[in-house]
Amino acid sequence: MTGEQWEKLLAVIKGKVFEPLPVGFIIDSPWLPGWVGISTIDYFSSEQMWFEANLKAVKKFPDIMFLPGFWAEFGMCTEPSAFGAKCSWPSPISNGRGWRENELPYADKIIHDIQDISAIGGLCRPNPETDGLLPFVLNRLKHYQSQIEQAGHSIKFAVSRGPLNVASFLAGSTEFLMAIRTNPDQTRRLLGIVTDFIIDWLELQARTFPSIDGIFILDDIVGFLGEDDFKEAALPYLSRIFQSLDVTVKFFHNDAPGLICAPYLPQIGVNLFNFSFQHTLARMKELTPVTLLGNIPTRDVLAAGRPEDVRNSVKAALESLPEKSRIILSCGGGMPPEVSTENIEAFLSAAGWG
């Protein structure tokens, strides 16, 4: 983010209303490679291609806050890899289209019985300086930090997948969600280890890049919990993470259903929230006082819709708002694959930026 964008973000979080409203999008590997015309595997394996893709986006759309900004990541494999999860690409048989260079990798689970984590040596807390893909993430940012800064941007966020998200990759989503009820002691142990690791990882990023003044946590699994399970299996761990660093912006992404977690966001420490397009901006403003990033449909409108559909959706979102404080216009999730330049321009136009 540029210094001007960062100051505007802080002002919005404090309640200042801008006209037109700011526009921001979460961008990473699902969208950027296809938009610039390279393969996903090239985006991950070439630092130069990664940098040039991000640089092209910020230059093409200088009026948009791209969050977290020059995001160094390996999809969902980044944090699970530190625990020893194998990074796998969809096979030609499973995707039915041959070579998988444009597919996203996934992390193979390593816990096949929730009891494994109670066994001696069953699960160890990784070292983010040495384990998995994490050193590659840091080195990518180190190698391009000067170029990022020369472009007028800086590294502002320490980023991680959230505790339930990581745990669900390690144990399997269905198995982990069932274990919250059937094996609560083992689940708490797993979440404790993962939370300690995430805090270590955020602290390492903040030490490495002193410009960091924000935390960005992504955890969609939170949206699959009822309120009792949320308070037991999510609230304490998210609170520890968001309160671990003394930073100004505490950004949470959950684009699964978010009505359960929304009232607890101030208690957790969150002050910026990106949530599911299933919930309107107006409805979410009733539930939480934090700044909202949203909220038109991602796939069906922003990616698959016509420019006219995008404009209509943005206008409807604006018209639904009784007042416009603490709003950054976006979509209900990260930027999905195949969003065109024309649709982004239509979004900006409807928001009043052109």
pLDDT tens-place string over residues 258-302: 999 999 999 999 999 999 999 999 999 999 999 999 999 999 999
**C-alpha distance from residue 297 to each of 69, 310, 317, 335, 346 (Å):** 22, 9, 11, 10, 14
Which of 314, 284, 302 minimizes the C-alpha distance to 340? 302
- Show the beta-strand stretches assigned E in 57-129: 64-67, 87-88, 106-107
Contact assessment for residue 84 and residue 110, using Cβ atoms and an 8 Å cutoff: yes
Domains, the chain, ordered by start? 1-30+292-354 (no CATH), 68-272 (3.20.20.210)
Q: What is the pLDDT of residue 314?
A: 98
The H or E element spanning position 51 is: helix 47-60
What is the greatest pairwise CA distance in the chain?
Answer: 61
Residue 291 bridge partners (DSSP) = 272
- Those residues whose C-beta lies under 8 Å from the C-beta of residue 262, and which sit 6 or more positions away, are 273, 275, 284, 287, 288
* pLDDT band with cut points at 50, 70 and 90 for residue 193: very high
Q: Is the pLDDT of residue 336 over 60?
A: yes
Per 3-state DSSP, the chain is made up of helix, strand and coil in percentages (nearest 5) of 50, 15, 35
Q: What is the pTM of this model?
A: 0.95
Contact assessment for residue 187 and residue 241, using Cβ atoms and an 8 Å cutoff: no
Report the distance separating Cα 137 and Cα 305, nearest Å.
Answer: 34
Mean pLDDT on 136-149: 98
